Structure 1
Amino acid sequence: MARKRDPRRDQAKEIWLRSNGKKILKDLANELNVSDSQIRKWKSIDKWSAELKGNVTNAKGNVTNRGGAPFGNQNAVGNKGNSRASPPLGNKNAIKTGEYETIFADMLSDEEKDIYSNLNDDPFFILNDEIRLLKVRQFRMMKRIKEAEKGLNDEEVERLQQLRKIKTPVEKDGRKLEIKREVMQDVQVTRKTFRKLDDILAIEDALTRVSNQLTKSIKQLNELSLSQDKKVMLNRQNEKLAAEIRRLKIQNGDDIPEVEDDGFIAAINNIVNDNEVWNDDNIET
């Protein structure tokens, strides 16, 4: 069952908007008996600032100013815009985690094309190479997390101002006088720093997926190794079984199908009949 919405949430928003955004969040929290962090959270989630900017009215009328040029304005006719406004082709500004970087064959460098053309189709090689690349990517993403944790902070400044009288020295008729005037002065400035978590959490989430992919690749490599070992063992067992069947047939006097001569038997016979091979003079002592 969903938790009931706190009525103070809407009340806080209404008070802050009525103050035209000048109400100090700390004072608002004390007024509604909630924590400062809760007020900041409501302000962020409910987009108080965006609503305040969207509802700015014209002092000389009762129609909300929607911004932009008036209807029928011809100022932009013939304007082609800034050709340099968009980033050049192949720009990497949008890459944040490096997990889903798009790769096009025609955009590869000469070095990358050489790697691409010399790729090996051997599944062992492919999996080993993928594991190495995933480990490099994992290392780079961990470095990005450390760099993001160093300096990415948000700072919120709260100012408490009061009307104060100050003395201003002036010169009149050759005499120096002090005139009192009222000005708004800061009597209290509070700075609060908050960790910017969005970028860090995004990289950590991508790092988790890369780590899972790395684990899966290692598992596939192990399974492939086991299947190859089983295949070799099975072939050896088949060869041993065939040799045993052949031996039994020879013992029973059964006809044995002739095996196609590949030249190996002839080579053995030549060695056996070669006197130079078996000459004692050729044996080193």
Structure 2
Amino acid sequence: MPKAERSEARDKAFEIWRVGKGKMPLVGIAELLGVPAVKVRKWKYEDEWEAKIGKRPAKRTSQKKKKTRSPTKKKSVTKKAEKKFAILGNKNFFEGEKSPPKNSTTTAKEQTKNCTSDKKTKEHGNKTAQLGNKNAVGHGAPKRNRNAVKTGEYQTVYQDALTDEERAVYESAQTDIMAALDEEIRIQAVRKFRMEKLYREMAERKEDFDVTDIYEYKEQDTVVSVSDEMGEPQEAVVKKRQKIPVKRVENRKTMDDKMLAATQAAVRVDRQRLSTIVEKAKLEQGKKALELKERKLNAEDW
């Protein structure tokens, strides 16, 4: 078969990466050339781009020796070893239980299933919930709640859940370079605004109360209304497990630690935003270098 021709995009990708001094992300090169990022990574590995610009020495290819294995001998199973194996489905491993009678009509699979269910009942008792129950339905936190927010650094930003102030910050965020990273820069700007707002609220409160309620579960007699066989209403006493509050613990804490954590998180978010802008600048520089090279090639053709 004829050998496939080398792709022109492969050489262009290396030139863009070399012009950027090896700092340009491969994802950006793939976007400029319109090829998958996986292919650019493969080109970089196979063509040894880092070795070409002197970042590291070239690889030394060495042939690996194939290991030969000696043929294994099959060992014959003796009659003594055969006697050690138990029959499938027996209950010998349960203490105090006898194996099923010989005339039993149950299969080995059913016997094994019964053994497993009996073992689970002994271990857990009746504490486990039944299969398909809906005890937790309706008791979860509301959608897109902020119960776990501490500093807001890693909080997810949803466009349809923004307040009026956050939407104004989102729309007014300045982005001058490629539109591929505009969304990330805007999200980081909103996240920074939320953290600064949280810091101001902490500074106004100065103190924080951490309240913890301690409960215990007790069975109490409860009167419920039931109907008898004739459909007449009657009262019955039923024991129900109820959650009873025992005591409340209040811890007074200063906001200094939380304010310090919010400040450090805001600094990290600002650094991420700046690094995103720098990455966009590198992509723009690589794009300009590619356009300049194409112009030179077109001029040489003329």
TM-score bracket for the superposition, by shorter chain length: 0.3 to 0.5
Largest Rg, 1 or 2: 1
Under a length normalisation based on structure 2, what TM-score does the superposition of the two structures give?
0.32
Asked which structure has the greater RCO (Cα within 8 Å, sep 6+), the reply is 2
